[in-house]
Structure 1
Amino acid sequence: MMTEDEQAFLASIPDGTPLYRAAAPYPNAGSSWTLIRAVSEDYAKLYGGVPIVTTAYRREEAVLYFSRAGEDEVIVNNAGRFEVICSQAELLRGAEECSREEQCEA
């Protein structure tokens, strides 16, 4: 399924690298994540302003990586381990960014 380049890239991602996802359905964040926060923001807006969540990459949880379609998609087995970083309300208000330090309500 993965190309050799994708396999090599997946193996090179350092543990702790942030991954992002538009949390649909919420609260189970799912297994498909991106390395690019802007991609998660686009999906969050597409799905009606769902919250954006983050998790830390862990090599032992990694399943697949796809570089196609410019999404830098990482499939991981870590359902339930995530943090809300931008709420639905903030997205609907047009918030450009929501930092991890802010108290974001889902």
Structure 2
Amino acid sequence: MFEGESNDLMYVIVLFEPENSVIGTQAILDFHKIKAVKIRRTTNAQVAENLGVKSNTIKVFQRNLDPILIELANVSRDTVKDAIKKFLADSHIANFDN
């Protein structure tokens, strides 16, 4: 996940979504300027299962590949965006108060 990436990259966040969803794409666009994080999405159920990502979760992988699981009450652009913003703020990666 981190091979060939800059040392600035601290987290890779993985989302699982149905093929007709754009939530993952929107999250990638929402956070693409933050160098410490990359958002990845998969529509492949087998890949998601192998990574331990379910439709109602976000999985954050640290550089040492230790995972952090974030559970969502429901899946929408706002809940995904808010969960990622909270994680980044709690990790002192970005401040979204503005």
Q: TM-score normalised to the size of structure 2?
A: 0.29
Q: TM-score normalised to the size of structure 1?
A: 0.28
